[in-house]
């Protein structure tokens, strides 16, 4: 009996039986000739997490050009593209719900406007493998064998035929996908060499359709981005050729302008410029350094032994701030800790929007300084630290400012957004600062201070809930880690639930492998983990013997930020660099 006949026979035999009869399919591979079908996991009932289905095609049968297979830089971009094609094929061929719970649903991991490493498709030297989830059909908790046969013998083969063979794809579309990604990678490498932190190409479409729809805004009201000549720079990209746009240099850059004129829209595009984008997104050539990190206030978060003394000192009752701890941080202390933790993790560019900051952390004006004297105010505002931060540590800052004109005194560059178009107003801002001096006193010495490294107590990171290991993402914003929940709502560069899930399992992987320990700082531990991911692939973080198809690669910065927000985290030692 061939393997297709064997699968057909099993489905006939279990038709109408208890749902657990589907377990006969688990851990088996079935050869369909043109492809192999693997079933590494079968759900326990129709309402549980759906079953895992792997669809595998050899590179020989797939017929992809060798230049795609041999180019490691292209592989994850091909995987991203094929994920989208598989999903399109699912929408075309799958009927959807058939029975109880998740019966009949076929899915592949969600994706957005970003092109990013994921495990939903593996494009390897010898094979192409798509990893899907399938709700095996049931009525109540009884197997629906006829509907299952339709999935296995009609729908899944049609998906494979549409998406995992090169001859079925639109070759020009795939090529365009790869070229746009290659251009963005090339441009991002150029930033540091040219002393830049970000680049926004002319013709970019920055506004999005809505807060829940990240696709580009369309219609007559859309205004294409055009750089002011003072900041315009040209790059020769490998495929797009000569590309002009606004170059943001290292140092301190202000984005100013009236309300609803596009300040935050520009900053949001710069935030997401750490990722590559698909053709047609409008932000394909909005590129930011990979070490850029968005900073904001975060009232109520826990802080575990962070040296916030560059910003906060001389607390009432003489509380120390060189290893500051709190279970319920204020806006100012949370923002101070967020900056120090980001620097500890290797951030080289801080992105800040005045609207989401603690006002007393950002600035104290002259009148307030007269009323509340320095010896009564423990906070050194960011305005007095932003310049030493750049001079001492090379950390640049881009700040959206709507009301604090005192920042004109410390800015290297000032960009004014006027009806969604940028204007160069640095000279005008400096002239205003000369004519109308702020009269405030600088509240800091000329140095920023040292950046600390913290060493975690591995025993404080407990993934157990009772007798079971519990590490899972509830949604984009919350990781359940043992008995604790890690709140990530304010990590604005985090994309989706899949990325959040990956963060939880990366931390768990570091614990299982003994990488996260008291012998290494948080940064050292994460460097080792991400090096292993680079070498062996994102799939290594799965706590199961099977590869999971819904991992999306996060950055080290967000992973470290999640670790810092685990409320059980204890820090053993602190050292200063």
Sequential DSSP letters for 160-195: HHHHSSGGGS-HHHHHHHHHHHHHHHHHHHHHHHTT
pLDDT at 18: 93
Which one of 22-26, 375-379, 501-505 scores highest in mean pLDDT? 501-505
Output the average pLDDT for the chain: 94
Pick the closest to residue 113 from 235, 212, 241 (CA basis). Answer: 212
Cα R_g (the chain), whole angstroms: 26
The two tokens of residue 259 are 């309300």
pLDDT band at 3 (very low <50, low <70, confident <90, very high): confident
Q: Is the pLDDT of residue 508 over 70?
A: yes
Q: What is the mean pLDDT of residues 390-416?
A: 95
- What DSSP designation does 540 have? G
pLDDT at 71: 84
Pick the closest to residue 306 from 326, 288, 276 (CA basis). Answer: 326
Domain ranges of the chain: 3-169, 192-291+348-450, 453-576
Contact 412, 251 (CB under 8 A): yes
The two tokens of residue 30 are 């079935």
Of the candidate ranges 190-204, 208-222, 338-352, 419-433, the one whose mean pLDDT is the lowest: 208-222
pLDDT in tens, 302-315: 999 999 999 998 88
CA pair distance 200, 262, nearest whole angstrom: 14
The two tokens of residue 385 are 């630290």
Contact 64, 128 (CB under 8 A): yes
pLDDT at 336: 97
CA pair distance 473, 479, nearest whole angstrom: 4
pLDDT at 466: 87
pLDDT > 90: what percent of the chain? Answer: 83
CA pair distance 39, 30, nearest whole angstrom: 9
CA pair distance 109, 121, nearest whole angstrom: 9
Rounded (5°) CA angle 176-537-345: 95
CA pair distance 540, 245, nearest whole angstrom: 39
pLDDT at 276: 98
> For residue 57, what are the contacts with CB-CB under 8 A and spacing of at least 6?
34, 35, 36, 127, 128, 129, 160, 164, 165
pLDDT at 1: 54
Q: Is the pLDDT of residue 489 over 90?
A: yes
Q: Is the pLDDT of residue 370 over 80?
A: yes
pLDDT at 318: 63
pLDDT at 101: 85
Biggest alpha carbon–alpha carbon distance for the chain: 90
pLDDT band at 257 (very low <50, low <70, confident <90, very high): very high
CA pair distance 159, 253, nearest whole angstrom: 49
Other beta carbons less than 10 A from residue 223's beta carbon: 14
Q: What is the mean pLDDT of residues 130-142?
A: 94
pLDDT band at 376 (very low <50, low <70, confident <90, very high): confident
Pick the closest to residue 202 from 160, 233, 166, 172 (CA basis). Answer: 233
CA pair distance 26, 440, nearest whole angstrom: 70
pLDDT at 442: 87
What letters, b where the CB count within 10 A reaches 16 and e where it falls short, cover 426-442? beebeeebeeeebebee
Contact 424, 411 (CB under 8 A): no
If one compares 535 and 314, the residue with the highest pLDDT of the two is 535
pLDDT > 70: what percent of the chain? Answer: 99
Q: What is the mean pLDDT of residues 291-307?
A: 96
Classify residue 61 as exposed, middle or buried by CB count within 10 Å of its CB (0-12, 13-18, 19+).
Answer: middle
Pick the closest to residue 437 from 414, 406, 413 (CA basis). Answer: 406
CATH, range 192-291+348-450: 3.40.50
Rounded (5°) CA angle 537-514-131: 30
pLDDT band at 215 (very low <50, low <70, confident <90, very high): very high
């Amino acid at each position: 009996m061939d393997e297709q006949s064997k699968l057909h026979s099993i489905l006939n035999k279990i038709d109408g039986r208890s749902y657990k009869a589907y377990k006969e399919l688990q851990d088996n591979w079935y050869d369909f000739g043109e492809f192999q079908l693997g079933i590494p996991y079968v759900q326990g009932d129709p309402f549980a997490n759906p079953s895992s289905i792997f669809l595998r095609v050899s590179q020989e049968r797939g017929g992809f050009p060798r230049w795609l297979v041999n180019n490691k830089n292209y592989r994850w971009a091909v995987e991203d593209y094929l994920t989208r094609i598989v999903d399109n094929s699912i929408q075309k061929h799958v009927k959807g719900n058939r029975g109880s719970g998740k019966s009949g649903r076929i899915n592949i991991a969600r994706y957005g406007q970003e092109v990013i490493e994921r495990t939903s498709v593996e494009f390897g030297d010898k094979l192409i493998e798509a990893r899907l989830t399938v709700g095996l059909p049931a009525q109540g908790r009884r197997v629906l064998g006829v509907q299952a046969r339709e999935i296995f013998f009609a729908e899944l083969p049609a998906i494979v035929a549409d998406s995992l063979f090169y001859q079925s794809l639109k070759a020009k579309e795939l090529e365009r996908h790869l070229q746009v990604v290659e251009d963005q990678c090339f441009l991002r490498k150029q930033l540091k060499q040219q002393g830049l932190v970000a680049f926004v190409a002319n013709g970019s479409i920055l506004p999005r359709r809505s807060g829940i729809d990240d696709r580009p805004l369309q219609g007559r009201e859309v205004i294409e981005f055009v750089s002011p000549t003072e900041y315009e720079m040209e790059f020769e990209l490998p495929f797009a050729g000569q590309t002009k746009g606004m170059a943001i240099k290292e140092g301190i850059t202000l984005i100013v302008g009236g309300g609803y004129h596009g300040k935050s829209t520009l900053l949001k595009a710069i935030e997401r410029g750490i990722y590559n984008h698909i053709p047609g997104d409008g932000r394909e050539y909005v590129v930011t350094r990979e070490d850029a990190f968005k900073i904001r206030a975060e009232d109520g978060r826990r802080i575990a032994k962070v040296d916030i003394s560059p910003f906060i000192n001389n607390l009432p009752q003489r509380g120390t701030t060189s290893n500051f701890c709190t279970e319920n941080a204020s806006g100012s202390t949370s923002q101070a800790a967020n900056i120090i933790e980001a620097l500890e993790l290797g951030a080289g560019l801080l992105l800040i929007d005045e609207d989401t900051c603690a006002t007393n952390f950002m600035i104290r004006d002259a009148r307030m300084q007269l009323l509340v004297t320095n010896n009564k105010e423990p906070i050194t505002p960011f305005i007095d630290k932003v310049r030493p931060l750049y001079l001492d540590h090379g950390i640049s800052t881009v700040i959206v400012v709507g009301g604090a004109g005192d920042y004109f005194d410390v800015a290297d560059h000032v960009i004014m957004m006027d009806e969604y178009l940028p204007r160069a107003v640095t000279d005008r801002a400096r002239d205003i600062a000369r004519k109308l001096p702020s009269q405030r006193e600088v509240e800091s010495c000329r140095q920023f201070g040292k950046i600390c490294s913290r060493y975690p107590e591995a025993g404080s990171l407990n993934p157990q809930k009772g007798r079971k290991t519990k590490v899972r993402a509830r949604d984009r914003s919350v990781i359940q880690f043992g008995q604790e929940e890690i709140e990530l709502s304010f990590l604005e560069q985090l994309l989706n639930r899949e990325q959040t899930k990956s963060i939880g399992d990366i931390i768990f992987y570091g614990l299982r492998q003994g990488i996260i320990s008291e012998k290494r700082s948080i940064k050292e531990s994460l460097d080792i983990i991400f090096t292993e991911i680079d070498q062996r692939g994102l799939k290594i973080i799965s706590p199961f013997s099977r590869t999971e198809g819904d991992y999306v690669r996060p950055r080290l910065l967000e992973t470290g930020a999640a670790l810092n927000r685990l409320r059980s985290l204890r820090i053993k030692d602190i050292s200063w660099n």
